[in-house]
Chains A and B, each alone.
Chain A
Amino acid sequence: EGHLVESGGGVVQPGRSLRLSCAASGFTFDDYAMYWVRQAPGKGLEWVSGISRNSGSIGYGDYVRGRFTISRDNAKNSLFLQMDSLSVEDTALYYCVKSRGKFYYYNALDVWGQGTTVTVSS
């Protein structure tokens, strides 16, 4: 079914940057779209970004568009999220998630990592 392990979270000051990584295994990485989903403490799920299997189609949530950049390296079975201009509202657990299909839209999110915590605080 697949296994996803996130890394790169931590504590960062407002306005600074952070880069999250996700290592994928147990499935053919370049066959599937991938996502980042976040969950603020005690809150619901929020879709952050998605990327198609060949990086040809990318989408972002309204609150991160223009500040976050998703990318993937299919040769290294890895997904990334570059987060710039961080604000306290970006504090959350960030999940790396696999799609059931090759496009990030039209498909469900079927394999989830355990998440990496990002805390934005002065």
Chain B
Amino acid sequence: DIQLTQSPSSLSASVGDRVTITCRASQPIFSYLNWYQQKPGKAPKLLIFHASTLHGGVPSRFRASGSGTDFALTITTLQPEDFATYYCQQSSSSPLTFGGGTKVDIK
């Protein structure tokens, strides 16, 4: 199975900050890496698919990059509504797997 390691597991930041979350795969997954945002008590929402493509309706401050084994999600200017938990997920091979999550909270 492909393991996904997210870093950090949590971070504190302020509105306006630039935040970067990384996701490392245990083996190459090409660009089959997706990012999700989940707020407390809510279902996750797709942010990014195929490593760097913004899902419809997602603000352009969310940017992502990477291929192979190393990926990153960057929020260029953190907004109040961005405080949430973020997950990476690989769809390269079955079983599909998620990273452990990164909780972004208010400093």
Chain A residues positioned under 8 Å from B95 (CB to CB): 47, 59-62
* A62-B1, A106-B32 known; A45+B46 contact, CB < 8 A: no
Let me know if A108 and B49 touch, CB within 8 A: yes
Identify the interface centre among B34, B91, B101: most chain A CB within 10 Å of its CB: B91
Let me know if A45 and B1 touch, CB within 8 A: no
Chain A residues positioned under 8 Å from B1 (CB to CB): 62
- Report the bound CA distance from A16 to B45 in whole Å: 32
In the complex, identify which listed stretch (A7-15, A71-79, A112-120) lies at the interface while the others stay far away: A112-120
Let me know if A108 and B87 touch, CB within 8 A: no
- The A/B interface has a contact count, at CB < 8 Å, of 66
Chain B interface residue count, CB cutoff 8 Å, equals: 25
Chain A interface residue count, CB cutoff 8 Å, equals: 23
* Chain B, range 46-61, C-beta contacts under 8 Å to A: 46, 49-50, 55
- In the complex, whether A32 has a CB less than 8 A from a CB of chain B is no
Residues on B facing A (Cβ under 8 Å)? 1, 32, 34, 36, 38, 43-46, 49-50, 55, 87, 89, 91-101
Having A95-B44, A106-B91, A109-B89, one finds 14 other A-B pairs with CB under 8 Å, namely: A44-B100, A45-B38, A45-B87, A45-B101, A47-B89, A61-B95, A61-B96, A62-B95, A104-B94, A108-B46, A108-B49, A108-B91, A109-B46, A112-B45
